[in-house]
Structure 1
Amino acid sequence: MKNTIAERIADFIKMYPPFDNLPYNELYKLAEETRVIYLDKDETLYTQGKPPKEHFFIVNQGAIRIYRQEGEKTIEVEMCDEGDVLGLRPLIVNENYTLNAKAYEESIVYAIPIQNFNKQFENNSEVSKYLITRFASNSATRFSQEDNERIFADYKRTTNTDYFSSKISNLMTTAVCCNHKSTVQEAASIMSENKISSIFVLKKDKPAGVITNKDLLHKIATGKFTIDQNVKKIMSSPVISASPDISIAEAQIIMLKNKIGNVCVTKDGTPESKLLGMLTQQDIVASLSNNPAILLKQISRARTIPRLRDLRQQLNDLLTRFINQHISFTHTLTVVAELNETINQKAVEISIKELNKIPPVRFAFFALGSQGRKEQLVPTDQDNGIIFEDVPDDKLESIRAFFIELATVINKNLHSIGYEYCPAEMMASNPKWCLSKKEWEVQFKDWIFNPTEKNILLSAIFFDFNFVYGDKELVNDMTAIVHESTDDNNRFFMFMAKDALKSPSPLGFFRQFLVDQDGAHKDQFNIKQRALMPLIDAARILTLQHNLQGINNTAERYYKLRELEPQNAEIYEACAYAFKALLKFKTKNGLATLGEDDGKFIKLENLTKSDKVKLRRCFKPIKSIQEVITIRFQPTL
C-alpha cells in the first residue's frame, strides 16, 4: 500500500536538484524516511556553532532566513524558499553549523536523512556534481580582499577537465609536509607560513598522519596538549589516501564518504607508499568548467575585446548554472558582480592601450545604475561616467576632449562585449557626463538644491555610482559632495520621496498584476519598473537621510537600515528579502529571453501558480516601505 505522504514528498523533491534527474522509485524510498517539520514564524531550524543534525533540509512552503551572528552583529546570508536546499555542507565536511536558520514565516520543511541519501545516490554522477558545487559555495557575503584571495584563488589548472575520465595525477598539487619528529609548534609555523589549513606528517617519505586547523583548535587551544609536544600526539592517522590513477569522480566520492576536504595521493594508493601530492575539493572545483576562479584569472589575462566578449558569455553560462542548481542567490549575485566589474576594468585597460595615448591627468571611470549598485546580472545597457582632476580653465576643453575620445573607445568596446549603448546616452562619451571634479560638484549641487522633476530623475541615476577604474579618490570625493549636500536637506528629500512613490503597488483590483496597456510589451508585467524600482528608490532615500556612505547595494542598504532603526527592522528585512527574490525572478526571465531584453518584461501566462504566489508575497513590503516614506518625508503628491 502506497504511503501518500511519501508520494507527496517524492513528487515535490523530484522537481529540484539534485533530485530532478533521479529514478522515482529511489526518491520514493528516500521520501519514506523523510520527516516533515512544521515551523512557526521565528522558530529555529538549526543554530550556528551546534553540531549538524542527521538530516539536511529542503523548503516545501514558506521561507527560511539564513544568517550569521558575529558578536552583536547579524550578517544576512540568504532567504531560502520553495525548493531551496539547506544544512547540507556541514554534513559533507563534518563541521558544526556556521550559520543560523530560522523561519521567516510559517513554513514546512522536509528533513532528509543524509545517511540514506548517501547510500542511495553516492555513485550517481549528477548528485556528485551537485555536491561539489554546494561544497564550493560557502561564502555568501560580499567579498573582502581576504575573501577574494580565498575564493578566487590562483588555481594552476585553467583547462576544462573531464570529471569521470581524467586522472587525479593531472590535477594533484604539492603537499606541504613536516617530519614525524617535529613539534606541534614547528608544524603550526609551517602551516602559518604557507597559509594552509592542513599539513601531512612524513616518515621516510610516507604519510604517517595529518594535522588540521581543527586539531590545533580542539587539542592545543583547549590545553589537552602543549605546542612543544611531538606531532604524533595530535595527528590523525592513518591518512585517507588514493592512487594517482583513479578518476576525479572517484576521488570526490572518497572525500564525501570520509567527510574530508582533501585526499593524500601516494604511489600505490595506500599510506604505506611514497607521498606524491594531494588533491583538495577546491582543486576539483577549479578543474571544472565555468568556475569563478578560472574566469577571474582568464579575464585578468585577456588582451583583446573579442576575448572579453567570450568570457562575458561564459559568465552568462556560470550564472545559468548557479541559478539552475539553486546556489545561494546572494552568493551568485556577489560572484557575478565581482566578475562583471573585472570585465569592465579590463575593458577600460585595453581601451587605453588601444588609444595609445597616456591620460594627461588623474581620472576615474565609474558605473551607474544597476552596475553601480552591483545588481547587474544579465547584461543591460551601459550607464557610466568619467571624472578627472581639476585643471586650469584654458586647458579644460582640451583635457575633456581627450577623455571623450577615450570614453568613446571604452563605450564601443563595452558594446562589443555585450553591454548595449544607453538609449538616453548616459555614458562617459557624452560630454555631459565627462566632467572635472569641480564640474561634478556643481552638477550634483544643482540637482540637489534645484530639485525639479528632471533633476530628481538624474540624481536618482547618478547617486548609485561605483568606482571601476583609475583614481578611486576622485570617486570618493564625489561621494563626499553628495552626502555633504544632502545632509539635513529636507526639501530635497521631500522631492525624492515624491519620485520614489510614483510607482504604487504592482497589484490592482482583485489582486491582479498591473501590466503594460499598449506598446511592444502589451499585457506583460514590468518587474523592474513596478516592483524593483520602488524598493531601490526607497532604500536610496533612506540611506541618504542617514548619511550612510559606501553602501550602494539595495539589499545591503536595507540590512544596514534594520540596524539603525530597530523599530522598523521587520519592514526592512522584508524589503531585502523581497528585493532579492524579485531580482532572481528578473534574472531567470532574462536568461530565458537572452538577446530580447534583460528580463524585466514577464509574460504572466508563463508563470506557474506557485510563481504568482511568490511574486504577490514580494509585493507586500513595497506598500509597507512606501508608507514609511510617506510618513517620514510627507511629500506633496
Structure 2
Amino acid sequence: MNTITYRIKDFLKENHPFSFLTSDEQFLIAKNITIRYYEVNELIFEIEKPVNTHFYLVKEGAVGLYAQNNQLTEQCDEGDLFGLRAIIRKDNYKLTAKALEECILYTIPFEMYDEILSINTEVTQFIISNFASNLIAYEKHSDSQKTIISEEELTAKYSKNPVTCVKETTIKEAALLMTERKVGSIIIQENNFPIGIITDKDFRTKIATGKVEISSVVNEIMSSPVICVSEKITVAEAQIVMLKNKITHLCITKSGKNKEEIKGVLSEYDIILIRENNPSVLIKQIKRSHSTEELKKIRIQASELLKRYLFQELDIDFICKIISEINQVITARIIEMAIEKLNQKPPVLFSWISLGSQGRKEQLLLTDQDNAIIFEDSKNNDENRWYFLRLAEIVTQNLHEIGFEYCPANMMASNKEWCLSTNEWKEKYHSWISKPIPENILFCTIFFDIETIFGDGKLEKEVQNSIEKYLQVYPIFTNFLALNSTQNPPPLGFFRQFLLEESGEQKEQFDIKSRAMMPLVDAARLLSIHLQINEKNTLARFRALIMKEPQNEEVYSMCFEAFKTLLKYRTKYGLLKNNSGRFIDLNALNKSEKLQLKVCFKAVKEIQSVVVNRFKLANFM
C-alpha cells in the first residue's frame, strides 16, 4: 500500500473542490499527483510563458501571484488552487507565480481536470465562483459580527475605444493596427455590429505556425460569433463569462446583443488591473508590509480605489466601509511594527482607539490624526504610560509619514493627556459629564465616538459602560449636549444665500464640515445616546433611528440622504483639490449641485427642530 498516496488523498478530501468528489475519484487524483518543493522567491511559472501540463495545489507555505508590473495581486495559502485558469483557457500565463516562503506543492496533471473535475457540477461551480468572487470579511469590534463586502456589484471598467476593422481587412493590416494602438485584440465589424474578434493568441496559433498566410483576410482567422456582454456587466460576471467560454476578451454592447453598436472591449488583463486595486488584495499586502514606504504606496493605491468607486457611483456607505477598513488595517500594521521596533512587548493590555470621524468610520480622505490609548490599570501606571507614550510617538510619526497629518490640537496618543489607564479615562469622562461647560461638551463630541483599532476591545467597552452610567447619573448633561448640537443653524442667510467664511485663508468659501455635516453628526449622536442606540457611524445611527422611531422616519430618512450627499461632495472636492475637502468654492458647483446642497440644509433644519422640541431647549436658550 502506498501510504503517501493515502496521505495526499486525506488532504484532498479536506479541501474544496476535491471534497466534492467520491473517495475513488480522490484516490485516482492522489495517485497522479507529483510533490514538488520550492524555496523562497523561487519561480513556479512566468507571465506570458506557455502553460505547463499541470496545475497546482498548495500543501504547505504560500505562493504569490504577480501582475506585469510585479504587483502582488493574490496570495495562495494552504489548500488553494492556482495555475488552472490558464490551462482552462489554453493560453499563456497572465500572472507570474513565485514562492513567498518555502513551499510544498501538489502538481496535478491537466488530464485529471478533464477526466474528473470538469464533469462534476459542484466542482466547476466552485472553481468559477472562486475565480470570480472578490470578498472581504472583517470583524466589527462593536458586536463581533462579520460583514461581507463584495465586489460582485462593481461594474467592470472597459476600454471605450476598441480597435475595429472590416472583414475584408488583411491580417497584416490588422496586426499593424493592433501594434500601432498597442492592444491585444481587434474586433471585426459590419455596420458597426461585431461579427468577429482576433486576439494575440490567434496570431501565435494560426499565423506564426504557418497555418494561415498573413496576406489573407481577417475573417479567415477571426473567432465568430463574438461573445458580447452588457456595458453594465460586473467584474465577477465578466470573469465567469470568460471562464465558461475559455476566452480572454469580451465585446461590450449596450445590452449584450451582437446586433448592437460596439461600445468597447474588456480583456482579462483589464480584470487583472482591477484586481491590483482590489481591497482584499490591498489588505493582504498591508499585513505583509514591513516599512512605512510600502504602506504609503498601498495608501496611495487606496486613494485610487476611492476615486474609482466614486467614478462608478457606488454607494458612499459601501465606500466608507471599504476605505475605513483599509485605514484601520494600515494603522494596526503600523502599531505592530512599532512594537517590534521597541523590542519589548506591551507591559499590560491596551487599546489603541480612533476618535471623531475615524472612530465613526467616516474618514475617506487623508485628514489629520485623532487617536488615544487606553491601557489596563496596575500599580505601575506611570511606568506603563512611559512605554505607551514611546509606542505612540513611533506610531503617530509613521502615520504622518504615510500621509495622515498630525492633529493641530495634539489630540493624539503621543500626548500624555490622551494616554491613560482605564480608571483615568473613567475619571476624565466623569469630570466632563458632571461639569457640562462648553470645553467639556466639546471634548465629549470628540471622545464619545471611539473605536478600537488595535489591542483589547474590552478596555474600550469598559470605558463606554462607565459613560452610559454617568449619563444616567447626570441627565442634565444630555440637555447641554442637545443645546450644543443646535449651535450651527442651517447654513443659509436671510435671502437663502450660502453663509460663507468672512475672513482668513478660506474667505468666501463654504465650510461643508462645520456648517452642514457636523450638525447632522451631532444630532445623530445625541439622539442615539438618548434612545440607547449603540451604533457609532452616522449613517448607521440614522438607520437605527428610523427603526426606533418610525413616526420620525421622514426626517431621519432626509438626514440619512443628506449626510450621504454631503460626504460624497466633500470627498470628491477633496480629491480634486488634494486636501481635506472641508472648504468648497461654490463657484466650482453648478446650479443643480447648489440646489442639492440646499436640500441637505433643509434636513439640518428639520433635525434641529426635532432636537429643540425633544429636549425642550427653549428653556435653555
Query: Which has the higher mean CA deviation after the structures are superposed, 478-487 or 173-182?
Result: 173-182
Question: Aligned partners of 1:591 and 1:294: how far apart in 2?
Answer: 23
Q: 1:545 aligns with which of 522, 526, 530?
A: 530
Deviation at 1:484, TM superposition (A): 2.5
1:256 aligns with 2:179: no
* Alignment partner, residue 581 of structure 1: 565
1:598 aligns with 2:580: yes
Deviation digits for residues 26-46 of structure 1, max 9, x if unmatched? Answer: xxxxxxxxxxxxxxxxxxxxx
Query: Which has the higher mean CA deviation after the structures are superposed, 353-362 or 254-263?
Result: 254-263
Question: Aligned partners of 1:384 and 1:403: how far apart in 2?
Answer: 13
> CA RMSD, aligned part only?
3.7
Does the Cα contact within 8 Å between 2:372 and 2:418 map onto a contact in 1? yes
Letter in 2 for 1:618: C
Do the aligned partners of residues 385 and 411 (structure 1) sit closer, same or farther apart at CA in structure 2, a change above 3 Å counting? same
* Alignment partner, residue 499 of structure 2: 514
Deviation at 1:297, TM superposition (A): 1.8
Deviation at 1:288, TM superposition (A): 4.4
Q: 1:382 aligns with which of 365, 369, 381?
A: 369
Question: Aligned partners of 1:496 and 1:177: how far apart in 2?
Answer: 68
Question: Aligned partners of 2:470 and 2:127: how far apart in 1?
Answer: 46
Question: Aligned partners of 2:501 and 2:245: how far apart in 1?
Answer: 67
Question: Aligned partners of 2:593 and 2:520: how far apart in 1?
Answer: 20
Letter in 2 for 1:262: I
Does the Cα contact within 8 Å between 1:309 and 1:417 map onto a contact in 2? yes
* Alignment partner, residue 400 of structure 2: 415
Letter in 2 for 1:611: E
* Alignment partner, residue 482 of structure 1: 467
Does the Cα contact within 8 Å between 2:354 and 2:451 map onto a contact in 1? yes
Question: Aligned partners of 1:403 and 1:528: how far apart in 2?
Answer: 32
Question: Aligned partners of 2:64 and 2:241: how far apart in 1?
Answer: 18
1:170 aligns with 2:157: no
Do the aligned partners of residues 306 and 511 (structure 1) sit closer, same or farther apart at CA in structure 2, a change above 3 Å counting? same
1:443 aligns with 2:408: no
Does the Cα contact within 8 Å between 2:374 and 2:419 map onto a contact in 1? yes
Q: 2:388 aligns with which of 400, 403, 412?
A: 403
Deviation digits for residues 362-416 of structure 1, max 9, x if unmatched? Answer: 1110100111111011111110000111101xx1111111111111111111111
Does the Cα contact within 8 Å between 1:158 and 1:287 map onto a contact in 2? no
Question: Aligned partners of 2:272 and 2:315: how far apart in 1?
Answer: 17
Question: Aligned partners of 1:161 and 1:266: how far apart in 2?
Answer: 27
Deviation at 1:353, TM superposition (A): 1.4
Letter in 1 for 2:537: N
Does the Cα contact within 8 Å between 1:263 and 1:280 map onto a contact in 2? no
Do the aligned partners of residues 255 and 289 (structure 1) sit closer, same or farther apart at CA in structure 2, a change above 3 Å counting? farther
Provide structure 1 residue ranges, at least 5 long, that are not aligned to the other structure: 1-153, 200-241, 271-278
Q: What SS is found at the alignment partner of 1:256?
A: strand
1:634 aligns with 2:621: no
Question: Aligned partners of 1:312 and 1:619: how far apart in 2?
Answer: 33
Does the Cα contact within 8 Å between 1:366 and 1:468 map onto a contact in 2? yes
Deviation at 1:177, TM superposition (A): 8.9
Deviation at 1:331, TM superposition (A): 2.1
1:304 aligns with 2:291: yes
Letter in 2 for 1:491: I
Do the aligned partners of residues 481 and 357 (structure 1) sit closer, same or farther apart at CA in structure 2, a change above 3 Å counting? same
Does the Cα contact within 8 Å between 2:492 and 2:498 map onto a contact in 1? yes
* Alignment partner, residue 489 of structure 2: 504
Does the Cα contact within 8 Å between 1:299 and 1:311 map onto a contact in 2? yes
Do the aligned partners of residues 353 and 586 (structure 1) sit closer, same or farther apart at CA in structure 2, a change above 3 Å counting? same
Do the aligned partners of residues 471 and 268 (structure 1) sit closer, same or farther apart at CA in structure 2, a change above 3 Å counting? closer
Do the aligned partners of residues 429 and 420 (structure 1) sit closer, same or farther apart at CA in structure 2, a change above 3 Å counting? same
Q: 1:464 aligns with which of 415, 436, 449?
A: 449
Q: What SS is found at the alignment partner of 1:512?
A: coil
Question: Aligned partners of 1:264 and 1:177: how far apart in 2?
Answer: 22
Does the Cα contact within 8 Å between 1:244 and 1:267 map onto a contact in 2? no
Question: Aligned partners of 1:632 and 1:606: how far apart in 2?
Answer: 38
Q: 2:552 aligns with which of 568, 571, 581?
A: 568
* Alignment partner, residue 363 of structure 1: 350
Q: What SS is found at the alignment partner of 1:365?
A: strand
Q: What SS is found at the alignment partner of 1:467?
A: strand
Does the Cα contact within 8 Å between 1:191 and 1:198 map onto a contact in 2? no
Do the aligned partners of residues 182 and 424 (structure 1) sit closer, same or farther apart at CA in structure 2, a change above 3 Å counting? closer
Deviation at 1:321, TM superposition (A): 2.2
Letter in 2 for 1:436: S
Question: Aligned partners of 2:387 and 2:369: how far apart in 1?
Answer: 20
Deviation at 1:509, TM superposition (A): 1.5
| Matching of residues 82-481 of structure 1 within 5 Å | 157-159=65-67, 169-171=92-94, 188=122, 197=129, 245=201, 254=227, 256=229, 262-263=240-241, 284=271, 288-392=275-379, 395-481=380-466
| Matching of residues 15-94 of structure 1 within 5 Å | none
Does the Cα contact within 8 Å between 2:118 and 2:124 map onto a contact in 1? no
* Alignment partner, residue 609 of structure 1: 591
Rg bigger for which structure? 2
Question: Aligned partners of 1:348 and 1:267: how far apart in 2?
Answer: 46
Deviation at 1:281, TM superposition (A): 8.5
Deviation digits for residues 169-195 of structure 1, max 9, x if unmatched? Answer: 4248999998989999x854x589x69
Query: What is the TM-score normalised by the length of structure 2?
Result: 0.61
Do the aligned partners of residues 512 and 265 (structure 1) sit closer, same or farther apart at CA in structure 2, a change above 3 Å counting? closer
Deviation at 1:330, TM superposition (A): 2.3
